[in-house]
Chains A and B, each alone.
Chain A
Amino acid sequence: MERCARPGRPERPLGVGRNVKLRLESRIGYVDLVHEMAEGMARGMGFEKGSALNIGLAVREAVINAIKHGNGMDAGKPIEVTFEQQDDLFRVRVRDQGPGFDWSHTANPLDRENIFRSSGRGIFFMRHFVDRVAFQRRRGKGTEVVLEKRFDAAGRAGRGGEVMKRRKG
């Protein structure tokens, strides 16, 4: 007798699948959850501990931005987070539904006049902790932040989950 696949059941457990998408209410309480997922998936891909924490911190800042500045702390407006595990990089997309924020005019937090500011370091952290940060305004649909962290040539995880060499830094 031929066995039928169970509809809705993932082929791989959460965290092992290559692409995972979350849709969450805009609540600060979800920031830890997304951070831990990002860091855990990065570890699962073979990023070393420090790099995985950096990825988690960058994703955390993107989610905070989406909730606070994108959706204006309106719990009724969802954020979407997509984790894409590729052979040579880990990409995370964070989408909000709000009018957006002007990322092109963020002040440099290292400037002397800004060093005592209690806010304004989120995008700075994102840019420092991953290889690429891109902001895409979606017409009438909010903003998408794309974060990418790439394995270097010697730092790829081996097939079957075996880690051959781990990326440093």
Chain B
Amino acid sequence: MKANARHHGKVTVVDLSGKITIGDGDIKLRQAVNALLDEGRKNIVLNLGGVSYMDSAGIGELVACYKRAREKGVSLKLLNPNGKVQDLLILTKLQEIFDIYRDEREALASF
């Protein structure tokens, strides 16, 4: 799994690609989000467009990132989950928890 952060004014978009699974993707996701929280970033968008699938560890880490962000007063939103990732978000009812956007401009304007 790869994670690349880019900044658009007050918002940071993290482009994720590959799979978010136990022992690799979950760790890299945690590191990427923790780094942004440590930098004091307040608005984060996780772009899931390049993520093929996640396992329970990946989903769990996504929830953990959301909780850590919220505890620090940081807003964390999701962009463009693809077929399988979207299926998992629906299956776990996490789509009701996360703010999810299909269009990056809309996501950037939402903060």
User: Residues on A close to B: CB < 8 A?
Assistant: 28-29, 31-32, 50, 53, 57, 60-61, 64, 109-110, 115-119, 121-122, 124-125, 128
Q: In the complex, A57 Cα to B21 Cα: how many Å? A: 10
Closest 5 CB pairs of A and B: A118-B60, A28-B23, A121-B56, A118-B64, A122-B56
> What is the interface of chain A mostly: helix, strand, loop, or mixed?
helix
Q: With A28-B22, A64-B22, A121-B56 given, is the CB distance from A53 to B84 under 8 Å? A: yes
How would residues 52 to 73 of chain B score, 1 for a CB under 8 Å from any chain A CB and 0 otherwise?
A: 0101110111011011000000
Contact residue among A29, A50, A125 (Cβ-Cβ distance under 8 Å from B55): A125
User: Residues on B close to A: CB < 8 A?
Assistant: 21-23, 53, 55-57, 59-61, 63-64, 66-67, 84, 91-94, 97
Contact residue among B22, B60, B66, B93 (Cβ-Cβ distance under 8 Å from A110): B93
Interchain pairs with CB closer than 8 A, number: 51
A residues near B55, Cβ cutoff 8 Å: 57, 60-61, 64, 125
- Contact: B22 with A118, CB < 8 Å? no
- Contact: A125 with B56, CB < 8 Å? yes
B residues near A57, Cβ cutoff 8 Å: 53, 55
A residues near B59, Cβ cutoff 8 Å: 121
